[in-house]
Each structure stands twice: as structure tokens, then as C-alpha cells.
Structure 1
Amino acid sequence: MISPRVVIVEDEAATARALIRTLKQLDEGIIIASTLPSVTESINWFTGNEGLYDLVFMDIRLADGVSFDIFKRVSISKPVIFVTAYNDYALPAFKNNGIDYVLKPFDEQEIERALQKYHNFFSKSQPATVAPDMEALLAQISQLTRSYKKSFLVHFREKLIPVEANKIAWFYTANEIVYAHTTDSRQYIMEFTMEQLEQQLDPQLFFRANRQFIINRDAITEVDFYFNGRLAVKINPEPAERILISKARAPEFKSWMNN
């Protein structure tokens, strides 16, 4: 088997590094052609580098939008393996060159299986545009289930206490410490990073507003229009810092609120 040249589209640097490390452990011959952290940079790179890659590992939710927007702006003829924390994007993923769908947090076995599927579909005897059995792949995706955190065990005054996830109004990070603020105005230090929390929380209930905040839908009281197309989210209990949604993420936030 010929080792593919891989492009990684992932906005979390730690996740990108973990994926590169896993790929290299599975196949030392794999070449990382590029690591792209955003929709904009991906569009720019794919526009002029058609012949420089064989396979794409792509996150779906990026800092400046959803990765499906990349396909609207540039043609990607090579196969794509989607790696994401959310399984509700299955159908759009497979409409955009998807040959597999790996849920975060991923393990080596899942990435190995996805690589094997790539080699099975795109061997030397087959052109790179051969379509996989989409019906079978979608049937496989429909069986995927994702369980989300119902509660967290947190340290509080020399004790460990359970805190229900739906009772947390918002998570906030400052100085590399992550805090959970509950609906009854209690605050706890979390042992997870914001990226880890984003993978463990139900996306129907929680939204990553920006680098500092993950917010609970049920705690939102109103949303105001802010400068330059941004949105200001008011939440109860109210944090000391204003919660802003960027112009780029505003459509995704409004869609989430409308669900």
C-alpha cells in the first residue's frame, strides 16, 4: 500500500497534533501535506494545491464556520474522513466526498479502520474519484450513538460532589483554568479543558460561544445585536465578562437557537 499524503483540517491544535501522532504511529510513511485551522485557510490552500494531497482528515465545526462551506467554494476531488464530536452531520458529510466518519474523542483503532477503508476504496487500480457504497456507509453512521456527560464530579471544600451538567449555566476559561458556573451561582474548577468539555457536552444544550465561554441554552435570557455583526448574549446568572458571538459564528448560533 502506498502511504497517502494527508491534509488535516482542524482548528484545535492539540487535536491536530494527536491526529498526526496517531497517523504516524500507524504508518510512518504518511506525509502531512498541510494542517489547516479554518474554513478560510482551507479554501485558500485547496484552491492551488490539487495535486499535492491524497486524503483529507476534516473536522466539521471550525472556528470560523462549518467545514461544508469549504466545498461550496473549492472543488475537493480526493476522499475525506470527517473527524468530529457531533454525529448529526452524517448526511452532509457523505455528500461531500466522505468515506468515513470518526467521532471524537477518537482512538487509534478508529483511525486505523478509517485508513484501511481509504486503502480499500482507493487502491492503485482504482481512480481517486471512485465513490464508496454510500448506502452502506450511511447505514453504519445511523448506528452510531453518542452519550454525553450527565454530571461532573468536582472538588469542593475537600470533598467530591456531583454537579448535573444541565445545572451549569456556563463554562469559562481564564489563565488556563476552566470554571463551571451553575444556575444557583456556585462556581467550581473543572479538570477538563474547554476542548474536552466541548466533546463531552450535549451540543443541543451547550454552545461554544467563543474561546472563553461555553453556554447553556436554558440559561440564555436574550441576545442583542453588537458592533460589526457580532451578537451579545445575556445569560443568567450573568458573568463578569460580556459573552460575544463573532460575525462568522453568528449564523451557526442563530441556527442552534432555532432548533
Structure 2
Amino acid sequence: MKKNLHIVIIEDEAATARNLEYILKEINPEIQIVKTLPSIAEAMDWFRLNDSDYDLIFSDIRLSDGLSFEIFKQINIRKPVVFVTAYNDYAIEAFRNNGIDYVLKPFDTEEIQRTLLKYDTLIADNSKNGQDKTESLLQELQYTTKQYKKSFLIHYCGRLIPVDAAKINWFHTANEIVYAHMADGRQYVVEFTLEQLEHELDPTLFFRANRQFIINKNAVDAVEYFFNGRLLVKIHPLPQEQILVSKAKAMHFRKWLDQ
């Protein structure tokens, strides 16, 4: 991994920007955050005066004053961009605006580390081969971003039952088994891990609340404030365990509910 990597962050949520900076420094303490820009207007002003003092940009898409794509349309930015967002709707446009990766919030250290390794690979190629890889990513994304799991074929009582994914209120893991819970109280075993389901399910409808639960937006009855900045989520049917969203994920969760 490249040493002394200089990074610019475009992010209007101060807590998210701090978390990203912490993760980047955790991965490589020699990384330097050149500037954190909270809006399109400030970013455009800064980039007009700073053409080459950085190597890589991490940018949110939905900012307080619009979509960050406006920055790249109006300013000739020649450095690669990693788009970090809570929304999956803009993936294609992201790759057409210097994007080399598209990371969905809430992100973790492993995801950011994979992104930095991808950056290193593309920079090492630094040639038509590197461009081919970016175009390949775009082609792949054009297919995968449109495909979410619509149903599950469930083994139940010696039969195979098709279950509409949108009608599953929540997924829960216990003793390394994942259960899909329906509105009427029925539950089925599904042959996926929660990690796999995160990538298979529509992120506008499903949210990974914590290590044990993925919840359907339509199943949320209420959200209560809990200790230490966490949120307590009330869903139906009511699970035996409390569903808590961490302080780090709380803002993303609230935005997800407010889409």
C-alpha cells in the first residue's frame, strides 16, 4: 500500500468524516487527510486552488447543497474518487465521474482497506490496462446494481416454498443459523449469512441494524433513544431480543428511514 497517501474527504456529516479518517489512519498511520470539505460550494472553491496536493478523494454523494457529482462536472479533477454513500442509486454515475469504487454506508475497516488495495492496483497499472479494469468495474456495476434478491426458495416441512423478500420483516441470526421472520409470526431458516444477505437485499428496503439483525423498513413501528447515543428499534412481530443500533450507525439509520 502506498505510503504517505494524501486524501481529501468530501462529507457533510462531521461524525462520518471523523470515522472515515480514523479508519484510514488505522489502516495506514502514514495517510494524511489534506482537507475535509462539507459542501459542494466549499469543495469547488478548494479544488480550484488546489490541483495536485492530494492523491485520492473520498466523497459522499448527497450533500447538504446537492449531489457531489456537480463538483466533478464543473471542476476538471484528474484524481480518482471513491464514492461513499448510504444510497445505491448513483453507482453508474459515480463510475462516470472518476470513480474507482463505490462504498455503501455504514462502512467498516475491511471495506475501506479493500478500496485502498483497489486504488493501489489501478495506480500500479497506470496504463490502458488500468483503464480497462475501471471500465470492467463499470460494466459489472451496470448489471449488479440492478439485481437484488426478490424471493427465497425455502425448505419447509419437506417442501420448497417461495417467499417474497419484501414480505420478510426481519432476519435474525442465532447459533450460526439465520431465520427469516414474517409479519404473521412464521419463521423460516434461510441458507445465507447476514453478511451475504447485506449484498443480496435491496439497501433501500433492508438495513443491517447490528450483528444479529437485518430489518425491513416496513416492519419498523418506532425508534427510541437508548443509552450512549444508541437507538432502540421496535419492529413487528416483536423479537425476543432488543434491536439496538449503535451510535456510529444511528445517523445512517435515521437517514435510511427518512428516504
The TM-score, its normalising length taken from structure 1, stands at 0.59
Identity in percent: 42
**CA-to-aligned-CA distance 1:91-137 (integer Å, 9 cap, x gap):** 110110001111111111111111011111113x737xx63523321
Deviation beyond 6 Å, 4+ runs, structure 1: 167-173, 176-180
Alignment of 1:113-132 (within 5 A): 113-123=114-124, 126=126, 131=131
Residue segments in structure 2 that go unaligned for 5+ positions in a row: 146-198, 210-214, 234-243
Asked if 1:196 is matched to 2:252, the reply is: yes
Aligned-partner residue type, residue 12 of structure 2: D
After superposition, give the CA deviation of every residue in 1:124-167 in whole Å (9 maximum; x if it has no partner). Answer: x737xx63523321244343544334899xxxxxxxxxx97447
Alignment RMSD: 3.4
What secondary structure does 1:133 align onto?
Answer: helix
Aligned match of 1:137: 137
How many Å separate the matches in 1 of 2:22 and 2:60? 16
How far apart are the structure 1 equivalents of 2:100 and 2:206? Answer: 29
The amino acid that maps onto 1:196 is: H
Q: Given residue 70 of structure 2, which amino acid in structure 1 is its aligned partner? A: D
**Partner-residue secondary structure (3-state), 2:76:** coil
Amino acid at match of 1:62: L
Q: Secondary structure, in 3 states, of the residue corresponding to 2:8?
A: strand
* Corresponding residue for residue 16 of structure 1: 17
Deviation at 1:62, TM superposition (A): 0.6
The residue matched to 2:52 in structure 1 has which SS? helix
For residues 201-245 of structure 1, give each alpha carbon's deviation from its aligned partner in whole angstroms, at most 9, with x where no partner exists.
4xxxx43xxxxxxxxxxxxxxxxxxxxxxxxxxxxxxxxxxxxxx
Unmatched runs of 5 consecutive residues or more in structure 1: 153-162, 181-189, 208-259
Q: What's the TM-score once normalised by structure 2's chain length?
A: 0.59
Tell me the distance in 2 between the aligned counterparts of 1:107 and 1:150: 15
8 Å Cα contact 2:6/2:34 also seen in 1: yes
CA spacing shift, 1:131–1:172, aligned 2, 3 Å: farther
- How do residues 107-256 of structure 1 correspond to structure 2 at under 5 angstroms? 107-123=108-124, 126=126, 131=131, 133-141=133-141, 142-143=143-144, 145=199, 146-147=202-203, 148-149=205-206, 165-166=217-218, 195-198=251-254, 200-201=256-257, 206-207=258-259
> 2:68 aligns to what?
67
Cα pair 2:27 2:113 within 8 Å, conserved: yes
- Aligned partner of 1:100 in structure 2 is 101
Give the match for residue 7 of structure 1: 8
Aligned length: 182
